[in-house]
Structure 1
Amino acid sequence: MATTEELYQLYLQHPVISTDTRKIAPGSLFFALKGDKFDANTFAQQAIEAGAAYAVVDNPEYALGEKFVLVDDGLSALQNLAAHHRRQLDIPIIALTGTNGKTTTKELINAVLSQRFNTLATEGNLNNHIGVPLTLLKITAEHQMAVIEMGANHQREIAMLCSIAHPTHGLITNVGKAHLEGFGGVEGVRKGKGEMYDFLAAKNEEERPAGSKNGVAFVNSDDAVLMEMKNERGLSNVIYYGKNSNPANIISGKLLDSSPLLVLEWSDNLEGGNYRVPTHLTGAYNLDNILVAICIGSTFGLTPEEISDGIAGYQPKNNRSQILQTTSNTLICDFYNANPSSMFVAIENIDKMQSGRKVLILGDMFEMGDESAAEHAAVLQKAMAAQVNERIFIGKDFSAQKSEGLEHATFYLTAEDAIEGLKAHPITNSTVLIKGSRGMALERLVGLF
């Protein structure tokens, strides 16, 4: 069986990792990973034929020659290789997790830091037990720092990802209601996300790489839950930011406009100075995400001008708080994912917007477990109380909440039903929020507006 060190020597010669035979990079290392419905060992020969230098397999039956490297477990080998590589790096690694806003926050941090540094950040949302190792293995000697997004749907997952990435700095965007089924309820979410603080607070610094002894936490002083979690762990190396006037904040800020694009003013509370920045983001809830990116930029010595340029230049994508202007409507495309926490703030955002006609289109939230009915009912109630002109609910979970007295709401059992309904009753001259879980695939509605 190949050791991690032996694999690392191969990696240094072939520093590109492939896990998909449909996307083999010439000269790469192919890792044969197993899934619920596939065993990539069976594709190892195909990977070699497609140009991979070596195939890492964990089934002796498929170790067919010198180009095949046998390990005990393919996934563990990949994770151990990434952890070993990280230990050779003496650079800041900023890790972030949270219920909502992870990817947008990661992109904002990267946009700011990239104004001065050669920064590598998680691509898309490759934030799990496979994506984090793959991201770490893309770090080269040219990179000066990395921004690593960490997602989780059960406890101990963030702890495991931190043990691989060994972040020098970390943050939790927020703690809310998501993946309740896997975490075992809201308290489970809090405990699971808190594993980021647990790692930063750990005393075994001698076991960390040279570049990760700081254990710095960026904490939103407005968030009572995060402040309580910080206090519970005795975090001492903390940098604060927020909208409030807490004297501990090194950065504070406020919104000047949010209809629909955000304009903010932020203050450097250490050096003095106020700075106005227009953005391409919508949603007042994104102010916290912007402020932590500013805070991190300031911590790493960027000038106010560099920081503001990074924020102003960031263009949201991947259907997260993304504004799309059509011929007759303004769409708020926020249908990459959804949970009760993000639903509430999205509804509140459009409720407060200074706009003419406003429409809510909300799709089912997945992975709610036993709380699903109660959480869909709560979102429905929130939507019914919002100052909007039309409300459309899509999916079996929302449809199960249909009752008397909801005459100002339209329910569709499936997205296909909604498409037919919107074709028959088109929406025009409106600001439209479209939000639902990824599995609802609500992007199919966009062409109707």
Structure 2
Amino acid sequence: MTLEELHVLFLQYPSICTDTRKITKDCIFFALKGPNFNGNKFAKAALKKGASYAIVDEEEHSTSERCILVDDVLETLQKLATFHRNKNTARVISLTGSNGKTTTKELISQVLSRKYKTIATKGNLNNHIGVPLTLLSIKPETEIAIVEMGANHQGEIAFLSSIAQPDFGYITNFGKAHLEGFGGVEGVIKGKSELYDYLIPNNKYVFLNADDPIQQEKLGSYINKSGYSQENHQYYTISFVSANPFVVLEMENMRIETQLIGKYNFSNCCAAVLMGKYFNVPLSEIKIAIEKYQPQNNRSQIITKNGFRIIMDAYNANPTSMQAALENFELMETDNKTLILGDMFELGQDAEKEHQSIVNLARNKGFTHAFFVGENFFNTETSFKKFKSFDDFRKHLEENPLKTGNLLIKGSRGMALERVLDLL
């Protein structure tokens, strides 16, 4: 079956499934493989559960006329996604960066949806499987598709760009994330800039934070761009007003009062404003969209429980976002502050240095109450309380319950620090 024939079939059955536990009637099941699973073995079950067809790449599992045998299922999914993307008129915006990708994507989606039929990456399905699935969710009526692209190694953004073939691009920032995979900060900059490496030679449009020196250097005299800035008036001027705790920004004498905490979310809001302006969304509609947006999934959420006011930022962490969170917490005009910080993963040989830096920062910022959880933090030199595991921390809290106050809870996803809520 040719790619074009497969696409015709997809238009008849425009629902893709890669997990037999989530089969929907008349979907097409793609039998993906992973280190610990082989989707080919579940093709028969997928058809039995209601899938219209199963795409397989092992002949022994092509047991029905509704099984379509291909050379490589993943490659077929990716090529089908690009083919579908090019068969539709939707304009594609791709974004990547070290921090803030998902929040920025959600904000852009909220803003552009005020005027256009818009689809966006669901959750953080931003890898070599998630990007194709997002592209395949484009409908004939879709006008704008917002595609989040994540990576932890060089070459991944280049590959995802070749699949999505974006018309527009934005990089949130270059931070200390996935240092192990990228090979240090310079590797991060090179890896994330692969989006520029696709956009610029193809004369595609770039949005930028003009106050970011790396972005300014990378884009140089490239003409096909627009940016936002607090001070450089050759770009669209957006002013930071405050973040105590919620971010307030102002442009064209209009104030936007968000439900996002932390100054680090200012640039995320600015990107959404900039794209709204570019796509001619009225400023009054941009204001409504951003002010209505509420963060979810443990991303900078404020939670009130049993006398505690909690900044729950336990979805992920790296040295850059951890530093920003501490700086924001320090500036909050409130007393009785306590830090509960968990290990930051994927830092490789920099892990010891970066965890010690965060401990030192907490001390230098004047915090007096802090708990550090995880093996990396346990190996730091500090007078703060530290625990090798969450279970050790749990036992401590059970014996020494926290009193009411303001908490910042932040750590990498694998630490699952949202479990602290059950202990308050």
Q: Taking structure 1 as the reference length, what is the TM-score of the superposition?
A: 0.92
Query: Aligned pair 1:285/2:271, yes or no?
Result: no
CA distance in 1, matches of 2:367, 2:245: 15
CA distance in 2, matches of 1:259, 1:95: 31
* Conservation of the 8 A alpha-carbon contact between 1:253 and 1:291: no
CA distance in 1, matches of 2:361, 2:350: 16
Deviation at 1:192, TM superposition (A): 0.5
CA distance in 1, matches of 2:244, 2:377: 28
* Secondary structure of 1:305 counterpart: helix
Deviation at 1:425, TM superposition (A): 2.0
State the match for 2:233 in structure 1: 247
Q: Which runs of 5+ in 2 are unaligned?
A: none
Q: Mark the CA change 1:251 to 1:118 in structure 2 (over 3 Å): closer, same or farther.
A: farther
CA distance in 2, matches of 1:352, 1:442: 23
Matches within 5 A, 1:306-385: 306-385=285-364
* Conservation of the 8 A alpha-carbon contact between 2:89 and 2:140: no
CA distance in 2, matches of 1:198, 1:301: 27
State the match for 2:207 in structure 1: 218
CA distance in 1, matches of 2:239, 2:94: 23
State the match for 1:259 in structure 2: 244
CA distance in 2, matches of 1:171, 1:410: 40
CA distance in 1, matches of 2:318, 2:248: 26
* Secondary structure of 1:355 counterpart: coil
- The equivalent position to 1:432 in structure 2, one of 402, 407, 411, is 407
Deviation at 1:21, TM superposition (A): 0.1
C-alpha distance after superposition, 1:66-119 (max 9, x if no partner): 100000001000000000001112222111000000000001101111111111
C-alpha distance after superposition, 1:267-308 (max 9, x if no partner): 1xxxxx311121111011100000110000010001111000
**In terms of mean alpha carbon deviation, does 245-254 or 40-49 score higher?**
245-254
CA distance in 2, matches of 1:189, 1:3: 38
What is the CA RMSD across the aligned residues, in angstroms?
Answer: 1.1
State the match for 1:131 in structure 2: 130
Deviation at 1:448, TM superposition (A): 2.1
State the match for 1:294 in structure 2: 273
Matches within 5 A, 1:110-189: 110-189=109-188
C-alpha distance after superposition, 1:310-356 (max 9, x if no partner): 00000100111111111211111111111111111011110111111
Deviation at 1:3, TM superposition (A): 2.3
CA distance in 2, matches of 1:12, 1:371: 48
CA distance in 2, matches of 1:297, 1:422: 46
CA distance in 2, matches of 1:423, 1:310: 42
Query: In structure 2, what residue type is equivalent to 1:412?
Result: F
CA distance in 2, matches of 1:399, 1:389: 18
State the match for 1:237 in structure 2: 224
C-alpha distance after superposition, 1:207-250 (max 9, x if no partner): xxxxxxx611111111111211222xx532110102x2202222
CA distance in 1, matches of 2:234, 2:410: 36
Deviation at 1:424, TM superposition (A): 2.0
Query: How many pairs are equivalent?
Result: 424
* Secondary structure of 1:147 counterpart: strand
C-alpha distance after superposition, 1:350-382 (max 9, x if no partner): 011111111111100111111111111111111
* Secondary structure of 1:94 counterpart: strand
State the match for 2:32 in structure 1: 33
CA distance in 1, matches of 2:101, 2:44: 37
Deviation at 1:253, TM superposition (A): 2.0
CA distance in 2, matches of 1:100, 1:124: 15
* Secondary structure of 1:153 counterpart: coil
CA distance in 2, matches of 1:305, 1:346: 30
CA distance in 2, matches of 1:253, 1:45: 58
Question: Post-superposition, which runs of at least 4 consecutive aligned residues in structure 1 deviate over 4 A?
Answer: none
* Secondary structure of 1:87 counterpart: helix
Query: Aligned pair 1:85/2:84, yes or no?
Result: yes
Query: In structure 2, what residue type is equivalent to 1:144?
Result: E
**In terms of mean alpha carbon deviation, does 96-105 or 418-427 score higher?**
418-427
CA distance in 1, matches of 2:273, 2:397: 41
Percent of matched pairs sharing the same residue: 48
* Secondary structure of 2:401 counterpart: coil
C-alpha distance after superposition, 1:117-160 (max 9, x if no partner): 11101100000000000011011012111111000011111111
* Secondary structure of 1:277 counterpart: strand
State the match for 1:303 in structure 2: 282
Query: In structure 2, what residue type is equivalent to 1:220?
Result: N
* Conservation of the 8 A alpha-carbon contact between 2:56 and 2:67: yes
Q: Which runs of 5+ in 1 are unaligned?
A: 204-213, 268-272
Deviation at 1:54, TM superposition (A): 0.2
Query: In structure 2, what residue type is equivalent to 1:319?
Result: N
Query: In structure 2, what residue type is equivalent to 1:13?
Result: Q
* Conservation of the 8 A alpha-carbon contact between 1:357 and 1:388: no
Deviation at 1:429, TM superposition (A): 2.8
Query: In structure 2, what residue type is equivalent to 1:350?
Result: F
CA distance in 1, matches of 2:319, 2:112: 31
State the match for 1:209 in structure 2: none
* Conservation of the 8 A alpha-carbon contact between 1:197 and 1:235: no
CA distance in 2, matches of 1:35, 1:254: 45
